[in-house]
Amino acid sequence: MQTERLYYNEPYLLEFDAEVRGTLDLGARVGVLLDRTAFYPTSGGQPHDVGTLGGVAVVDCYEDEQSGDIVHVLEGKPGTTRVRGQVDADRRKDHMQHHSGQHVLSRAFVELYGWPTLSFHLGVETCTIDLGVDSASRDQLDRVEDLANRIVQENRSVSIRYLNEDSIAEAGLRKATERTGEIRVIDVSGYDRSACGGTHVRNTHEIGPIQITGVSRAKKQTRVEFICGNRVLRHARATHRALETISQTVSSRLLDTPSAVASVWQEFQQTKKRIEDLESHLLDHEAAAFPVDDAGYAVAAFKDRGIETLKMLAARIAKRPGTVVLLADQSDQLRVVFARAADSALDVSALLKKTIEKFGGRGGGRPDFAQAGGLNGDVDAVLKFAKQIVHGL
């Protein structure tokens, strides 16, 4: 005997009594089989319900593929064989709004552009419809959104029908079904008919607003993200607040933020370029005046100069003939940069390798330029060591 699915005909039923028919050992959790249930098991793109059974939390619900039984996954064993089930109302309502919203949207895609829905996913963060089309423009999506919201506002009835497989061909389903026997069909009055096992609202106005929030392309398909009902309100509130914060930061009116942010960004890029140019000039001067000893060594320890500056400085100093440059910087980690002039035969990458062998860290480079980070040791000791072993290479 399979579980009687109360949600098939009573999608608004959230409280019910049932008999425990058996339990499954699922390790830390218990699988409970009932004679009847209002809990929706994950299927057809719609996630499972949560709630309680005999006061114990139901954390998952799925359909056993072989037996067709519905397995309620509980955090513990219910104390009695006669149990009261309580389905989480907010989560179920959210699922009903989005599943019905998906049917309305999917029909709008067919109605306006002939694009079939290949699959549907209802998630906690986002809901998606995969369409069998290469691409969709923002303008086309706006039209679909308009039609879907019109259907919502027309408050059409959404009813559950059962059709025989023999009469299914004339039923005008949006998408052909492979199901046999008695087929459950969701009918949005005068608009859409689809074979579906999900839970749906009674009237389209209960879906609330439908908003397409994103679009992406993948393998000749188009994935559309959407939200319905209360999520639209929450999303509108969150995006409005984000926009308000941005508009205050850039001192512009709310709807002028795109151009205001663009000009701030442009200014930032120009300033960045100017700082880079100035830093380059400064480094030229610093390198020209950098102390090099009689043997050609330029050795120095820095604090918080940063690896990029250190590399630029080393490269500039190494332009002076006959120099060997050994620089170190202690910031969040100890880094070294070794370089040498083009007329020197020294292999600084070999020098770096030996230094890493002694002090640890990671790095590498070429014979004329090498760098490493994450060394363990005193910055002066590292430089002293490197300088001492140059002659042994």
In whole angstroms, how close is the CB of 198 to Zn ion at the nearest point?
Answer: 4
In whole angstroms, how close is the CB of 147 to Zn ion at the nearest point?
Answer: 18
Count of residues of this chain found to bind Zn ion when the rule CB under 5 A is applied:
2
**Torsion sign over Cα 256, 143, 221, 185:** positive
Q: How far apart are CA 13 and CA 36, in angstroms?
A: 12
In whole angstroms, how close is the CB of 184 to Zn ion at the nearest point?
Answer: 10
| Closer residue to Zn ion (CB): 53 or 196 | 196
In whole angstroms, how close is the CB of 163 to Zn ion at the nearest point?
Answer: 15
| Closer residue to Zn ion (CB): 44 or 296 | 44
In whole angstroms, how close is the CB of 63 to Zn ion at the nearest point?
Answer: 15
Q: How far apart are CA 227 and CA 235, in angstroms?
A: 9
Near Zn ion by CB under 5 A: residue from 163, 195, 196, 379: 196
The neighbour count for residue 232, using CB atoms within 10 Å, is 19
Q: Which stretch binds Zn ion (CB under 5 A): 47-55, 194-202, 273-281, 354-362?
A: 194-202
| Closer residue to Zn ion (CB): 224 or 314 | 224
Strand partners, 349: none
Q: What is the DSSP string of 154-201?
A: TT-BEEEEEEEGGGSGGGT-SS-----SEEEEEEETTTEEEE--S---
Helix, strand, or coil (residue 319):
coil
| Closer residue to Zn ion (CB): 32 or 196 | 196
Helix, strand, or coil (residue 272):
helix
Q: Which stretch binds Zn ion (CB under 5 A): 198-206, 214-222, 326-334, 341-349?
A: 198-206
Near Zn ion by CB under 5 A: residue from 198, 209, 361, 363: 198
| Closer residue to Zn ion (CB): 74 or 196 | 196
Instruction: Please identify which residue in the block is written with the tokens 């023999």.
Output: 166
Query: What type of residue is 384?
Result: K
For residue 364, give every residue at least 6 positions away whose Cβ sits within 8 Å of its Cβ, in sequence order, or none.
Answer: 349, 352, 370, 371, 372
Q: How far apart are CA 194 and CA 268, in angstroms?
A: 53
| Closer residue to Zn ion (CB): 196 or 310 | 196
In whole angstroms, how close is the CB of 13 to Zn ion at the nearest point?
Answer: 19
Q: Indicate the residue whose CB is closest to Zn ion.
A: 196
Helix, strand, or coil (residue 349):
helix
| Closer residue to Zn ion (CB): 198 or 363 | 198
Q: Which stretch binds Zn ion (CB under 5 A): 72-80, 188-196, 249-257, 366-374?
A: 188-196
For residue 260, give every residue at least 6 positions away whose Cβ sits within 8 Å of its Cβ, in sequence order, or none.
Answer: 247, 250, 251, 252
Residues 30-69 that bind Zn ion (CB under 5 A): none
In whole angstroms, how close is the CB of 233 to Zn ion at the nearest point?
Answer: 23
Q: How far apart are CA 294 and CA 300, in angstroms?
A: 15
What residues line the site for Zn ion (CB under 5 A)? Answer: 196, 198
